[in-house]
């Protein structure tokens, strides 16, 4: 895919292709379409990120709440989005031992209770051993800092998903 | 369901129940959870509407772009959300004649081309005969006025969906 192709899409095609760049938030892709034409993939990405940054805090928390737990119930039930399924598989989260799954479930529950949104991590960049370590570390962070960290992870995930769609290797991660 | 029950929900339950009050925009329900507790259903509704009103224009257009056409491809393919399916059926849009479907498809296409979002109407409140008439009328409206009209319809749909969830009859529609 190249940017001319993207700029020629009507909003239906655009939302079909980019609707899950931000997990389960097709509203954001649908809003970004208003900003076309895009000069390149970085410009397209910037409009996704600018939209996120301009939301009130409740909206930013809302984005996070649309994300599934890592190695959670949705993975067990097979109800993840295709992108999440690939990412959680790629990070080795589909082949955890029962005790590892239990440990993560407990940490995820503590995290959700503390912050009011699920633990979000660009798992593809880390791997399975890092997930409980990062989770335990971030559980200790002050809420305002943790909200920023979590949104940065949303953006890393979005950047990787855009790179997949464009068949490119993203820089600066 | 009563408001105490709603106020006791964690964000996962809340998004499961209210995630499609605004069609395919679970982000909005997920954001509204930040505003709990709610005093009653009107208060809950107000937070949905306030979130919509506070979005930049691109975000408001984005909400509209997450809606399906009336009597469109998604109805034919059976890929509507459960709520949309019920509403379009209830308005008689599943039993159109071929010539009526074709007429609506043409009007929908003209509308999408003119405004950059699909025609949204709280069809349950109108019925099948009113749909092409309203579509033809609104096609002539200036874009800024039409954006406001379409968002008002999104809110009417949301109010009816909330009323369904609470088992109540909404006032003021």
Which residue is associated with the tokens 């996120």? Answer: A52
- Looking at every residue in chain A, the average pLDDT score rounds to 95
Which residues on B lie below 8 Å from A12 (Cβ)?
65, 112
Is A47 assigned a catalytic role? Answer: no
Confidence class for position A168, pLDDT limits 50, 70, 90:
confident
Cross-chain residue pair B32–A56, CB shorter than 8 Å: no
Confidence class for position A128, pLDDT limits 50, 70, 90:
confident
User: B1 versus A141: which is more confidently predicted?
Assistant: A141
Residue A152 Cα, gap to closest chain B Cα (Å): 17
pLDDT at site B168:
72
Helices of type H across chain B: 3-7, 11-18, 26-32, 41-54, 57-65, 73-77, 82-90, 98-115, 130-138, 143-166
**HSE (CB half, 13 Å, CA atoms) of A7?**
10
pLDDT at site B70:
95
* Cα A121 from Cα B92, distance rounded (Å): 45
A65 at B interface, C-beta within 8 A: yes
The stretches in chain B having pLDDT less than 50 are: none
Q: What is the CATH number of domain B69-157?
A: 1.10.3330.10
Any idea where the domains of chain B sit in the sequence?
3-61, 69-157
Residue B53 Cα, gap to closest chain A Cα (Å): 12
pLDDT at site A94:
92
Q: A100 near A90, Cβ under 8 Å?
A: no
Which residues on B lie below 8 Å from A66 (Cβ)?
15, 26-27, 30
Q: What is the pLDDT of residues B84-127, one digit of tens each?
A: 999 999 999 999 999 999 999 999 999 999 999 999 999 988 88
* Cα B146 from Cα A104, distance rounded (Å): 49
Which of B28, B34, B58 lies at the smallest CB-CB distance from A34? B58
Catalytic residue among A67, A138, A156, A161: A67
* Cα B2 from Cα B166, distance rounded (Å): 7
Domain A68-155 has CATH 3.40.50.300: no
* Cα A121 from Cα B137, distance rounded (Å): 48
Residue A1 has pLDDT above 90, yes or no: no
Catalytic residue among B47, B67, B159, B161: B67
Tell me, what's the ipTM?
A: 0.94
Confidence class for position A73, pLDDT limits 50, 70, 90:
very high
pLDDT at site B169:
63
Angle of helix B82-90 versus helix B143-166 axis, rounded to 10: 100
Helix (H, G, I), strand (E, B), or coil: what is residue B20? coil
Residue A173 has pLDDT above 80, yes or no: no
Cross-chain residue pair B27–A32, CB shorter than 8 Å: no
Confidence class for position A88, pLDDT limits 50, 70, 90:
very high
Query: Which two three-digit tokens encode residue A169?
Result: 């290797």
């Amino acid at each position: 895919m190249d940017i001319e192709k993207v700029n020629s899409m009507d909003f239906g095609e655009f939302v079909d292709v980019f609707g899950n760049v931000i997990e389960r938030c097709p509203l954001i892709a649908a809003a970004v379409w208003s900003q076309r034409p895009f000069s390149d993939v970085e410009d397209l990405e910037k409009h996704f990120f600018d939209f996120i940054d301009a939301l009130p805090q409740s909206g930013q928390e809302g984005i996070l709440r649309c994300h599934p737990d890592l190695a959670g119930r949705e993975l067990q039930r097979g109800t993840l989005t295709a992108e999440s399924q690939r990412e959680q598989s790629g990070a080795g989260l589909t082949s955890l031992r029962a005790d590892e799954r239990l440990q993560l479930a407990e940490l995820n529950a503590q995290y959700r209770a503390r912050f009011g949104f699920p633990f979000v991590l660009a798992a593809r960049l880390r791997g399975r051993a890092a997930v409980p370590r990062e989770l335990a570390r971030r559980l200790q962070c002050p809420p305002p800092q943790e909200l920023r960290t979590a949104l940065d992870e949303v953006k890393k995930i979005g950047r990787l998903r855009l790179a997949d769609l464009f068949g490119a290797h993203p820089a600066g991660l």
